[in-house]
Chain A
Amino acid sequence: MHAMAMSPGPPHTAEEVLDLFEQGKLSPAEAFSLFRRLHQTGKVPAVHVPAAAAPRAKAREEDDEAERRRRLQEAEAELMSLIGLDPVKRLVKEIQAYIAIQQRRSAERLVSEPLVLHMIFKGNPGTGKTTVARILGRMFKEMGVLPKGHLVECERADLVGEYIGHTAQRTREHIKKALGGILFIDEAYSLARGGEKDFGKEAIDTLVKAMEDHKDQLIAILAGYQREMEHFLSTNPGLRSRFPIHIDFPDYSADELLQIAHLMLRKREYRLSAAARAKLAALLRTEAGKADPNFGNARLVRNIIERAIRRQAVRLVRKARISRDELMLIEEVDLGEVSAG
């Protein structure tokens, strides 16, 4: 009998991914997904540095401008297509308008406010902070605010070193990678964990200095749980003024979670039976009501869906004949004893 393939331990390099693939242990989709994760966590060296744009002929400028506008619209459309996040979308619109007006004022030689776009993102895991940061990077690039607009993600472990000076050096490395784009520091408050003596402070100081030195080259975003971020800022008053934009990422409502679930299923070419739909709705209502700060919200939906897909596979694999429709259908039993894990 074909049992489900056991998932192997997580590979650490692209070569390991390719090996697993050759052995028939991964599908191409899974291999790409692993590539992406390796790329994101920086466990494999970033493969691509776009070459500086070649000098362009005058005639192309208009084309470029149209292209730029189109890409900006695309990024905006992607932001708008994210489910929920209404306050975030509103604030982004405001920021965008503000930038446009300051640019116009400066073109008219009116006094314009300096654009300080460093931000604080507050919210639980899985509420879309990284996704929004990535889209903002693209938008800022097309608006001419940032030259590249890419996102470099890091956290305490990436920045803090083992001896004096090491932290500054590691932090500078990440800043260098982020130049031209956004440096996104997750769970930023953990940098203040050990108080004065801790190397975390060295990382913060290095960051603040880089923000001054590379004013037009870098936007920093500090992200993390609401309460911890508030505390972090109140104990570092100097930081608050340097990060003028604060965005709250609310948890998704049960309804929004259900929309997310449907979207995920549709992308994977699955659909729910009526009974499964009702069960999932009920499940998400109880979960959303729990107000557990670790209830990583969209991530929870993903877990539920992925588990249901595996259960459906186990249910079907023993059958002699399976119709195309059955392959797509998630039944109530597949949602089984799903837990929040």
Chain B
Amino acid sequence: MKRCIVLGKANVGKSLFVLSFAEYLGVQKVSVTIEEPGRHGQSRTVSVRDAMAQWVSDTPHQTRALHAVQLELPVGKGVKRFELVDTSGLSEGIPRETAIRRAMAQTLAAVREADLVLHIVDASAAAQEGAVEAIGEVDFQVAHFAQMKGGYLILANKMDLPTAKEGLERIRQEFAGHPVIPVSARTKDGFREVKRYVWRWI
């Protein structure tokens, strides 16, 4: 089964994107495998709505484990199953807490093994002057590495917010040469294009 990793800084909308995309593909209940560092994955089935209430949040580093959501897409007469994996947010600096470093290390390892990397950046924050928090060195390094590996897409999220247009411009400039799709995890705008791209990689 192909694995598609969703990553990005804290609070850019990774968790909402994963669940919202699952909803877009027409599922109300998702089977999620929760992979904590150093432990076997625990699977359970939850409704998308409950998962959203639980996992989408304004506090950074909510997600300390990988949440692999099992999904399928129609291919020819059958379906292709794939995993969409929500990860703990990346930080610019070295995290102080060991548990967060372990969770992030898990994300790094997952990126190496992924078939497809969806890199989310917050377009609504990207245009604020000197927004180190919005796009920074870690984002450039991810882009550099993931592109070389192949199967890499940047999602400029929160396009429903007023400052996002300008942010998208900046993202396109800064990541010139990388594919960027504007989306809103809230309104599901842009999901058609994302689906098409994912379809091609699984």
Contact = CB atoms under 8 A, between A and B. Distances in A.
Contact of A27 (B93, B111, B150): B93
B130 A28 contact: no
A48 B150 contact: yes
A63 interface: yes
Nearest to B196: A63
B24 interface: no
**Secondary structure dominating the interface of B:** helix
B161 interface: no
A36 B145 contact: yes
A267 B138 contact: no
B79 interface: no
Contacts, number: 105
Contacts of B144: 32-33, 36
A324 B128 CA distance: 14
A18 B108 contact: yes
Interface string A25-62: 11111111101100110000001101001110000000
B169 interface: no
B104 interface: yes
B149 interface: yes
Interface stretch (B13-21, B43-51, B64-72, B171-179): B171-179
A21 B92 CA distance: 13
A237 interface: no
B138 A29 contact: yes
Contact of B142 (A32, A74, A78, A269): A32
Contacts of A178: none
A300 to B, nearest CB: 20
B176 A28 contact: no
B196 A29 contact: no
B141 A32 contact: yes
Contacts of A269: 130, 132, 136-137
B138 A27 contact: yes
Kindly state the interface size class of chain B when it binds its partner: 35 or more
Nearest to B80: A54
B92 to A, nearest CB: 7
B54 to A, nearest CB: 25
A194 interface: no
B90 A267 contact: no
B61 interface: no
Nearest to B149: A48
B105 A21 contact: yes
A40 B92 CA distance: 23
A36, A81, A150 — most chain B CB neighbours (10 Å): A36
B137 A18 contact: no
A268 B140 CA distance: 9
Secondary structure of the A contact surface, majority rule: helix
B108 A31 contact: yes
B148 A39 contact: yes
B29 interface: no
A328 B145 contact: no
A13 to B, nearest CB: 11
Contact of A22 (B102, B115, B140): B102
Given A35-B145, A71-B179, A27 B105 contact: no
B75 interface: yes
Interface in B67-85: 75-76
Contacts of A36: 141, 144-145, 148
B149 A39 contact: yes
B101 interface: yes
Interface string B189-201: 0000000100011
A182 B75 CA distance: 31
A48 B115 contact: yes
Interface string B93-132: 1111010011011001101110100000000000000101
Q: Which of A29, A135, A150, A324 has the most CB of B within 10 A?
A: A29
B101 A24 contact: yes
A33 B179 contact: no
A75 interface: yes
Interface of A: 14, 17-18, 21-22, 24-33, 35-36, 39-40, 47-48, 50, 53-55, 63, 71, 74-75, 77-78, 81, 135, 150, 267-269, 324, 328
20 contacts: A18-B108, A22-B102, A22-B105, A24-B94, A24-B96, A25-B94, A27-B93, A27-B94, A29-B137, A29-B140, A32-B144, A36-B145, A53-B200, A74-B177, A74-B178, A74-B179, A78-B176, A269-B136, A269-B137, A328-B132
